[in-house]
Every structure is written in structure tokens, then in C-alpha cells.
């Protein structure tokens, strides 16, 4: 059974890389639009 703190830590662990991936995707997307 996962404790509440474990879930929070896991969420934080997975969300941080997601944000960086989203930022990279946004940059490449802007490059496509701006050219």
C-alpha cells in the first residue's frame, strides 16, 4: 500500500521531467511556427 507521502513524492518525481519535456516540445513547436 502506498502512503500519501509516497504518492506525493512519486508525483513530484514524474512531474518535474514532464515539465522539462513540455518546455522542450514548446521550443521546437515555436521553431516550427516561426521558422
Domain count, the chain: 1
User: Above 70 in pLDDT, residue 1?
Assistant: no
Structural domain boundaries, residue 29: 1-35
Quote the radius of gyration of the chain (alpha carbons, Å): 15
d(CA 21, CA 35): 21
- pLDDT score of 21: 81
pLDDT in tens, 5-22: 787 887 777 777 777 888
Q: Tell me if the pTM is above 0.75.
A: no
H helix runs in 1-35, sequence order: 4-34
Q: Supply 35's cell numbers.
A: 521558422
Count, residues in the chain: 35
Amino acid at each position: 500500500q502506498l502512503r500519501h507521502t509516497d504518492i506525493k513524492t512519486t508525483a513530484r518525481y514524474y512531474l518535474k521531467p514532464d515539465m522539462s519535456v513540455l518546455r522542450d516540445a514548446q521550443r521546437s513547436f515555436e521553431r516550427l511556427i516561426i521558422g
